[in-house]
Amino acid sequence: MNPMQNPEYEKIDVLGVGFHKVTFDQALTLLLQKLAHKRDDHPFFVATPNPEMILESKKNKQFQKTLANTDLNIADGIGILWASYFLKKSQNIKSRFRMKITWINSLMKVVFSSKKIHSVLPERVTGTDMMQALCQKVTPETKIFLLGAGEGVAKIAAEKMQKIRKLNIVGAYCGNAGTQQEKNIQKMINEVEPDLLFVAFGAPKQEFWIERNLPYLTTVKVIMGVGGAFDFIAGIRKRAPKIFQKLGIEWLFRLIIQPSRWLRIFNATIKFPLTVLKVAQTKVSKK
């Protein structure tokens, strides 16, 4: 069942992007069901928007439209959970001053009372975690294709996953998100008939690529944009320790090991919360 047809999986709006209200286990179960049954008219399109992607969608309306046309949007980032919580809390606030106080209090809850911000969107569901969980749970017959990342990275990621569990990986290719190679990539994918396709071109390129190519992938049942997942699995980039992930401060770990990412981290940790506040205050002004 498509989550948009299931009242249990309602959509929560965060700055113009709808997120399905699902836990990790619910999302995993849904995707395994999609893989276990005859495919629908088109591959089931999964996106994993994070705060950076939300900011991009605000200035790139085509990207916002693409994210509205997915079959499942899962919240990849504690910032998305926080924003859904704060925006709900702010709905009946009529004072800009009270709005700022509520905003500050909600940000403090991210560190000191993180369970509170899970009251609207229940759980963070990262693309990397979902990809790894799917590969652990799919049947041995499920054919998997890895597309994207840097030269050779997809193949290394495939080899690493094969060491954990024997998988039916039928292809691993870097490709690119441009239109020049699309026909060849479509042919390459269709020839090996995968059921599950992971695309790691980074946002918004991977979402645009998926949207353009959906009609031409003849056997794919589930297709998912996974950003830097191949890099993490291949060991090219390190993931933050579990404690950093649990506290929602992966950005701090990344800043320490990759200071060059400071602008992306600034966007996710400073610009995104300020943008959420600005949007909420705009609604106050209209009341």
Half-sphere exposure of 60 (CA within 13 A, CB side): 15
Rounded to whole angstroms, the Cα distance separating 275 from 229 reads 27
Q: Which residue has the tokens 């699309």?
A: 182
Mean pLDDT of 193-200: 98
The encoded tokens of residue 241 equal 């320790």
The answer to whether the beta carbons of residues 126 and 78 sit under 8 Å apart is no
Residue 280 pLDDT:
94
Q: What 3-state class would DSSP assign to 47?
A: strand
pTM of the model: 0.91
The verdict on whether omega for the bond into residue 3 sits within 30 degrees of 0, i.e. cis, is no
Residue 238 pLDDT:
76
Q: With 0-12 CB in 10 A as exposed, 13-18 as middle and 19+ as buried, what is 257?
A: exposed
Any bridge partners for residue 44, and if so which? 222
Summarize pLDDT for 120-174 with one digit per residue, the tens.
999 999 999 999 999 999 999 999 999 999 999 999 999 999 999 999 999 999 9
Which of the 8 DSSP states describes residue 46? E
Which of the 8 DSSP states describes residue 39? -
Residue 6 pLDDT:
45
Summarize pLDDT for 45-103 with one digit per residue, the tens.
999 999 999 999 999 999 999 999 999 999 998 999 999 999 999 998 989 999 999 99
Spell out the domains of the chain, with CATH numbers in brackets: 3-76+124-230 (3.40.50), 83-109+239-286 (no CATH)
Summarize pLDDT for 217-241 with one digit per residue, the tens.
999 999 999 999 999 999 988 776 7
As a whole number, the mean pLDDT across the chain is: 90
- Count of other CB atoms within 10 angstroms of residue 11: 14
The encoded tokens of residue 285 equal 């002004």
Residues whose CB falls within 8 Å of the CB of residue 143, separated by 6 or more in sequence, listed in order: 168, 169, 170, 192, 193, 194, 195, 196, 219
Q: Which residue has the tokens 């395994």?
A: 32
Any bridge partners for residue 12, and if so which? 19
Residue 114 pLDDT:
78
What are the backbone angles phi and psi of residue 199, rounded to the nearest 5°? -120, 125
Residue 5 pLDDT:
43
Helices (H), the chain: 24-36, 51-59, 61-68, 78-89, 96-112, 127-137, 153-164, 182-192, 205-213, 229-234, 242-247, 250-257, 262-266, 272-286
For 18, the enclosing helix (H) or strand (E) is strand 17-20
